Structure 1
Amino acid sequence: MTNNIVENILKLLKGEFIKFVFVGGISAVIEFSLLILFVEKLGIDYLIGNIGAFALTNIVTYILSKRYVFNASASANKAQEAGLFFLCLLGGLVVNQIVLWALVEFTSVDYRIAKVIAIAITVIWNFFTRKHLVFRNRAVATVEQPAPTEYSEENL
């Protein structure tokens, strides 16, 4: 029992989740930096700035996730994949906005600290929705049927 748990943890650490965390770290730095830029340099409200930072960052995240993390099939239906990514992205944005808003408005936490917490919570949502909905292996295994020969049962 303990060996199975350890093996599963090691698989997780070697696999997609570690790559996802790495890409997520890059994305988090970009998103956090854009939020600061929008709020402190451009004077945009933190919730509006968050939407812009989140959306722009997730363009980069989509490309990196597709190529590096989940090794999505080149033959995947691009329209379906983009649609699923967008729906999952909207869900992630809702989670992110609610956490950010609640922490700032109800606990008086600085929006920058609240953003770090919101990113951390949204990472969980993003990993599972992208892995299981967006970039799951959609390839269907097909079994090739041998061509009938003159000696097959069908031709006898």
Structure 2
Amino acid sequence: MFRAFLRNLLSGPVAPQLRRFVVVGAVASVVQTALLWTFVEHGGLDYLLGALLAIELTIVFQYVLNDAWTFRATRNVGRVSYLVGLLKTNVVRGSAIPLQLGVLYVLVTWRSIPYLVANAGAIGLTGLYRYVLDARWTWGR
């Protein structure tokens, strides 16, 4: 059953959409990591506060890219629809923020993993959660 699920993700009808979501997420993770580094190393912020700010900024960035490319077949057209979609993705991704920050905290504090490396792990661990909710609610019809 799990093998069939994975096979469907890689070659089934949602595979192209999932690949685009992963590409957008990878680009956004680079942007988020750069922002996090800037906030911590040059802004003097605590890594958790820096991560929170970086996450929120990349939520908007990802929404624009995902709406235009990943979910173009069901994109949010018109000002109201676009803004409602942005609100929805903020709810989805906002609900993932405690998960991501929790993983980041555990990896840094309990495992002594450098915060930038731990941030990449936290992004990866919460990615599927964000995809499922965004695909079904933000761009679901």
- Sort the TM-score into its range (normalised by shorter chain): 0.7 to 0.9
The residue type paired with residue 87 of structure 1 is V
CA distance in 2, matches of 1:122, 1:81: 20
Cα distance, 1:125 vs. partner? 1.5
RMSD of equivalent CA atoms:
2.4
Cα distance, 1:9 vs. partner? 3.1
Cα pair 1:12 1:18 within 8 Å, conserved:
no
As a proportion of its length, which structure holds more helix? 2
Cα pair 1:34 1:53 within 8 Å, conserved:
yes
Q: Which runs of 4+ in 1 moved over 4 A?
A: 2-8
Query: Which residue in the other structure is 1:149 paired with?
Result: none
CA distance in 1, matches of 2:6, 2:96: 29
CA distance in 2, matches of 1:9, 1:30: 26
The residue type paired with residue 34 of structure 2 is S
Query: Which residue in the other structure is 1:140 paired with?
Result: none
Cα distance, 1:11 vs. partner? 2.5
- Name the CA shift for 1:99/1:59 in 2 (closer, same or farther; >3 Å): same
Query: Which residue in the other structure is 2:77 paired with?
Result: 74
Larger radius of gyration: 1
Show structure 1 runs of 5+ residues with no match. Answer: 138-156
**2:118 counterpart of 1:91:** no
1:5-24 paired onto structure 2 within 5 Å: 9-11=10-12, 14-24=15-25
TM-score, length of structure 2 as denominator length: 0.84
Deviations 1:32-85 (A, max 9, x none): 110011111111100000011101111110000111001224268345423321
Query: Which residue in the other structure is 1:100 paired with?
Result: 104
Cα distance, 1:24 vs. partner? 0.8
**2:139 counterpart of 1:135:** yes
- Name the CA shift for 1:80/1:113 in 2 (closer, same or farther; >3 Å): same
CA distance in 2, matches of 1:108, 1:4: 34
Deviations 1:77-126 (A, max 9, x none): 34542332121121121111010011111222111111110010121121
- Name the CA shift for 1:48/1:5 in 2 (closer, same or farther; >3 Å): closer
Show structure 2 runs of 5+ residues with no match. Answer: none
Cα pair 1:16 1:69 within 8 Å, conserved:
yes
SS of the equivalent of 1:114 reads helix
Query: Which residue in the other structure is 1:123 paired with?
Result: 127
